[in-house]
């Protein structure tokens, strides 16, 4: 990982801190376990997701609202799957 990549990763990881513990855990776990190996399009979609409002991201991740696109829906599925893999 280049220094620029490491800086971007750090910035995105910091943005995973949303102030809602459950959401913080989901997003941070995805960053730590899956983000680095994700395709560029998925990494871009994750960065875009982090631009959203906390309550919207929460609703997507906890099944209260369907994401507006299939790409975002698949990403949310991967984010929640990362949490399901851990006790």
pLDDT at 51: 95
Q: Per the confidence metrics, is the pTM higher than 0.85?
A: yes
The per-residue pLDDT for range 13-33, each reduced to its tens digit, is 999 999 999 999 999 999 999
The per-residue pLDDT for range 63-77, each reduced to its tens digit, is 999 999 999 999 999
Query: Would you say residue 60 lies in a domain?
Result: yes
Domain count across the chain: 1
The tokens for 51 are: 């631009």
Residue 87 scores a pLDDT above 60? no
Query: Would you say residue 66 lies in a domain?
Result: yes
Give the CA angle between residues 27, 29, 35 to the nearest 5°.
80
Query: Would you say residue 75 lies in a domain?
Result: yes
pLDDT at 75: 96
Query: Would you say residue 54 lies in a domain?
Result: yes
């Amino acid at each position: 990982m280049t220094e620029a990549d490491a800086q971007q990763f750090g910035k995105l990881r910091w943005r995973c801190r949303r102030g809602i513990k459950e959401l913080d855990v989901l997003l941070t776990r995805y960053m730590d376990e899956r983000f680095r190996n994700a395709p560029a399009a998925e990494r871009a979609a994750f960065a875009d997701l982090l631009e959203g409002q906390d309550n919207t991201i929460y609703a997507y991740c906890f099944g209260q609202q369907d994401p507006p696109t299939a790409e975002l829906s698949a990403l949310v599925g991967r984010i929640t799957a990362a949490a399901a893999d851990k006790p």
